[in-house]
Structure 1
Amino acid sequence: MAERFIQSIERAADVLELFLTANQELSVKEISEKVGLSKSTVHGIIKTLEFRGYLKQNPDDLKYKLGMKLFELGNRVSSQFDLGEMTRPIIRKLVDELKETVHLVVFERDEVIYVEKMDGPRALRIYSQIGKRAPIHCTGVGKSILAFQEEKEIERLLSNADIKQFTNYTMTDKELIKKHLQTIRERGYAIDDEEIELGLKCVAAPIFNHHGKVIGSISCASPKMRLDDSKLSKVITEIKQAATEISEGLGYQHNNVYM
């Protein structure tokens, strides 16, 4: 049996979702044109949403903007939201596809912290563990987060970070690191090629929230010998797709990049 949807609610949702990509304030005429409904129909929807607190009218220009009720609902969603729970099926799918270890980290108070780790069929004894801090300058997850900060923030984070050399491949020169970050931004992913541990290679991609701000990263870690060109290409594709799926689940839209 086909799903039955309530048209009036769909129309109200269309009106509210205009404010995701359009100007912060819209007139009845602008809303009518964008949703393809008559001004009288739109007026009725708007007045109902305004009455319930979902929209608010600016008395100066009579245009409408989002109301505090949505802010209240958004805060309630945030308080109930568990990133680990949301991403677990995505991580499990990655592990099944790639047969390697997958990590999820969050960026909080200038720290990159492992919050999820799921081993592949051949578990690795590596640096990472849940709750542990990841170096920002030489891990895939750290670099993918650092690369998508504002320039001033990159400078501050590198100045405060312990730029420790873990292997002969670890970059410790801040100018070289900043140049490397530009490449990461262009590609949309980061690679740790034995920079924190010899024989280990990781691919990571950033996770963005609904403001377009990077809040975490997801990665695949593997012994370097198992990542030939063919598998590396597959890992990059899968990790980027997973990061995009998670970001979109957080409300991220590609035109809202925080840069």
Structure 2
Amino acid sequence: MVNTQKYVNNILERNVEKKTGETSQIRSVAKALMILDYLASCQEEVPLTKIAGKFGIAKSTVHGLLATLRDFGYIDQSPFTGNYKLGVRLFEIGSIVAASWDVRSVAAPYIERLVGQVGETVHLVVLDKGEVLYIDKRESNQSIRIVSAQGMRLPAHCTGVGKALLAYLPANELKRIIKTKGLPGYTKNTITDPQVLEKELELIRGRGYAFDIEEIMDGLSCVAAPIFDHSGRACAAISVSGPTARLKEDRFEEITSTVCQTAMEISQALGYKHNPSRS
């Protein structure tokens, strides 16, 4: 087990040793993060004076940091004692991260098999802040490959995986993403009209898969399918991507069938109970 107190002390020592050329904004972020680590190590409510004393920071500065962290939900302040402890927002973020990586570990053998079956690049993504976040990628052995990487973000409206996830969002959440992110065009095939996109998403829900034919990049096509968790939520999506010249007609249909089957197998491994009447 990690010694959290020692870990916090090491962070503090490294912060003290940092060069004076560091900006005040970065130092403020570092102090806020150290406070979070310290509260985690204490595992109980802590008064402001103890936090200030621990780091040798003025009470007024600590108060401002705590107030900001509290306002964003990262810490809670007791209405009775005024002391501080970690907040529910950290639990929410941790749950999102845990869910993403759990999907990744469960999906790994399935997408490795999928690469062998179709001979094209396979991606695993989750929807994060209205964008698709690539959490796994398995390369094909083809000479022409897809330029992508784990940790990459792309717009949701013009990617097969993105549309596969947008299709299962509540209507108000979909409208919020469209309003926030917009529908910028990348190629002549990109959907830039909200009404057209909504109709496309309705079709995706009906058939159970999405595709993008040169919607984000000329010459690139993909087919994608959603992955559902035990609660029936579309928590991730997988796709097979390749040059449009290789993903044609009969082969495209074969790949679509294999992607959908793989997505369903991963969903079932996550505890999803398939309901044929699902809309």
User: Aligned AA for 2:102?
Assistant: D
Aligned partner of 2:220 in structure 1 is: 200
Q: Is the 8 A contact 2:213 2:220 kept in 1?
A: yes
Structure 2 distance, partners of 1:81, 1:170, is: 30
- Partner of 1:130, secondary structure, is coil
Find the partner of 1:155 among 155, 170, 175. 175
CA 1:248/1:257 → structure 2, altered by over 3 Å: closer, same or farther?
farther
CA 1:81/1:119 → structure 2, altered by over 3 Å: closer, same or farther?
closer
CA 1:80/1:139 → structure 2, altered by over 3 Å: closer, same or farther?
closer
- Partner of 1:236, secondary structure, is helix
Aligned partner of 1:187 in structure 2 is: 207
TM-score of the aligned structures, taking structure 1 as reference length: 0.65
TM-score of the aligned structures, taking structure 2 as reference length: 0.61
- Partner of 2:107, secondary structure, is helix
Structure 2 distance, partners of 1:256, 1:232, is: 24
- Partner of 1:207, secondary structure, is strand
Aligned length: 183
Q: Deviations over 1:93-134 (max 9, x none)?
A: 111010000000012343320011111111545453210112
Find the partner of 2:159 among 135, 139, 144. 139
Q: Deviations over 1:206-242 (max 9, x none)?
A: 0111111111100000111112211111110110011
Structure 2 distance, partners of 1:208, 1:144, is: 11
Find the partner of 1:177 among 197, 212, 218. 197
User: Aligned AA for 1:169?
Assistant: N
Q: Is the 8 A contact 1:101 1:124 kept in 2?
A: no
1:248 Cα deviation from its structure 2 partner:
0.9
- Partner of 1:82, secondary structure, is helix
**Residue 238 (1) aligns with residue 258 (2):** yes
Tell me how large the CA RMSD over aligned residues is: 2.3
Find the partner of 1:97 among 117, 120, 126. 117
1:81 Cα deviation from its structure 2 partner:
6.2
Find the partner of 1:229 among 246, 249, 272. 249
Find the partner of 2:236 among 191, 195, 216. 216
1:179 Cα deviation from its structure 2 partner:
0.9
CA 1:188/1:89 → structure 2, altered by over 3 Å: closer, same or farther?
same
Structure 1 distance, partners of 2:166, 2:277, is: 14
Q: Which runs of 5+ in 1 are unaligned?
A: 1-74
CA 1:80/1:148 → structure 2, altered by over 3 Å: closer, same or farther?
closer
Q: Is the 8 A contact 1:148 1:258 kept in 2?
A: no
Q: Is the 8 A contact 1:191 1:204 kept in 2?
A: yes
- Partner of 1:158, secondary structure, is helix
Structure 2 distance, partners of 1:79, 1:256, is: 25
CA 1:114/1:81 → structure 2, altered by over 3 Å: closer, same or farther?
closer
Structure 1 distance, partners of 2:100, 2:210, is: 31
Q: Is the 8 A contact 1:212 1:258 kept in 2?
A: no
